[in-house]
Structures are given as C-alpha cells and as structure tokens.
Amino acid sequence: MVTSSAPGKVYLFGEHAVVYGEPAVPCAIERRAHVTVEQRESGMSVHADDLTLDGFTVEYDAETGGRPDVEVADSLVEAGVGYVNEAIEQARDAADAGDVGFDITVESSIPLGAGLGSSAAVVVATIDAATRELGVELAPVDIAQRAYEVEYAVQDGEASRADTFCSAMGGAVRVEGDDCRTIAAPDLPFVIGYDGGAGDTGALVAGVRKLREDYGFAADTVEAIGDIVRQGETALAEGDLAELGRLMNFNHGLLEALGVSSRSLDAMVWAARDADALGAKLTGAGGGGCIVALDRTPETKTALEFTPGCEEAFRAELDTEGVRQESR
C-alpha cells in the first residue's frame, strides 16, 4: 500500500489563453490531494473523502458504473471517476501490469471544479502511488506527461499541460504549448476566496472557443492575456509584487470580457481590491469557484470572510514541492 500526494494550484496569469498556445504561469499551493493505492487481484474500487472544503464522501465501484448519491453536478462526478480510471490505466501501462486491480482512497482538501487544480492533483498523486505500488518509480516530469494524457482524454482534447505539470513539479511554472519549465518565484502571499460552487470547465472552454471563432476581438483578447503573462514573467523574476498585482487585475478584466467570470467571483475580486490587496482575479476555468489575491496583511482574508457569496477564505502559500510519496 502506497500513499502519494500532489499540490493544487492557482493561476497567476494565463488560464483559457493557454489552451490556444499562449503562455500561462500557474503556481502550486500548500493544499494537497492524498491518494492511497493498494493492489488487489482484479477490479477497482474508489473511496473519496473531502472533495470540497466542507467535505463529503463518495464511494463507487468501477465495475458497477453507478453514480454516487451526492450533491454535486453529474458532470463533476463523472469527470472525477474518469480521471481516476484513466490515471490507473496510465499506471498499468507504465508498469506493464495488464488488468491488475486496485483499492484506491482519495483524500483532498481541494474543491472540485473550483479552479485550484483538483483533478490534476488527484491524477498526479494516483499515477505516482499506483506505479510505486507496482514497483515502478517515475520521475515527476514523466508523471506530468502521463497526467496530461489523462486530462486530454477526459476533457475531449481541450486540456493544457499547465495544471498537471504544475502539480507534478511544484513551485511556479511556465507553460506555453508543449514547452513546460519551472521558474523562480518569490514568496507569494496568496489569499483565496471560495464561493462554494464550481464551474463546468468543458462548457466554459467551449464558450471561449466559440467567441474566438465568431469575433476577431475575442481572439485579440486571448492574445492580450498572453501579453500579460509575458509582462508578468518579468515582474515575477524581479520580485515586483505590486506589478504582479496590477497585471492580475488586468487579467481578470479580460477573463470577464470573455464571459467566464460570475457575480460571486467578481464580488470577491472587488472585495479583495477594496481591502487593498495588490491584485485579485479568478483562477481556473471560472463560472464559480475561487479567486486568488496577493496580500501580506490580514485585511483581504477578513474582507472576503464578510463578503456575501464567499463561503471560505484562506491563505495558501506557494508550495515549492510537487508530487511526493507520503508512506508505504
């Protein structure tokens, strides 16, 4: 029996645009998914706890194909099951293990579909734990590649490498197409607000794609996000948090123009800015879920706690470590 963990992430810049070959800079955060894998003769069962900040339990047996009776959108549960199944297939392939069975337990404090990379963290940790259980140890960069293939399959070819590479490697990373690398970053004082909801990543990505096809200025907006990322890289290298915050504000405005924000996300962004955060923006696909702000003081977290529609506010420092084995 092996337990591995992998971190969630926030986007400093670049979500949605990264799907179209523009650069993005996601950062791993100190909030992790833990996956325990134990080999058995055949079949597979999965027990999952705490997939939202409030927590619930999901149990299913892959052989039955049943849907768990939980208060979560069907698309999220089906995707969650798909991610685990595909991750196990990748582990079997890496170990040349055929149809060996597994008992899998997922414990995660990263909410589903909220923009913090829950699926990537679960996939990365599952591949690491399952391959180790089968006697194979993969390098983080190899886990990142296999995890990307999982997300690509489950998301019908709409995935980028950003989430999975960040979760596998940790720290701050830069992703542009197939070019993925770790980059230096100062201590980033992240404050996260969570509205208790989740966006439908597939539908939101499809919506942006249609806008780009229908309107030239929407394509220009996506390119402008890429320009923000490039400018942000310079600020990150110089440790200029004030400039990072200003660029985060610009990035949120462009994402809002692309139709992927929501009333609750905007309310949290403006509450953070009114509390003198250096910058604030949605993180991830949007439509609901989380915003990320930069603030070393307690003011932003306090403001978010009193913002209608914000169910949870918390600090999550940059996590410099990616996937790791926790126990055997």
CA 28 – CA 325 distance, rounded (Å):
17
CA 121 – CA 215 distance, rounded (Å):
35
Identity of the residue numbered 241: L
Phi, psi of 131 (to 5 degrees): -65, -40
**Any catalytic annotation for residue 163?**
yes
Phi, psi of 267 (to 5 degrees): -60, -40
Strands of the chain (E only): list them. 2-13, 25-40, 44-49, 57-61, 101-108, 172-176, 179-183, 190-194, 279-282, 290-294, 312-315, 324-327
CA 299 to chain centre: 25
CA 241 – CA 82 distance, rounded (Å):
38
**β-pair type (44-49, 101-108):** parallel
* 3 state SS of 223: helix
Query: 131-163 burial, b if ≥16 CB within 10 A, otherwise e?
Result: bbbbeeebebeebbbbbbbbbbbbbeeebbbbb
* 3 state SS of 8: strand
Given the residues 50, 163, 295, 319, select the one marked as catalytic: 163
Residue whose entry in the numeric block shows the structure tokens 């990142």: 144
Q: Is the dihedral of CA 245, 307, 110, 82 positive or negative?
A: negative
Active site residues: 163
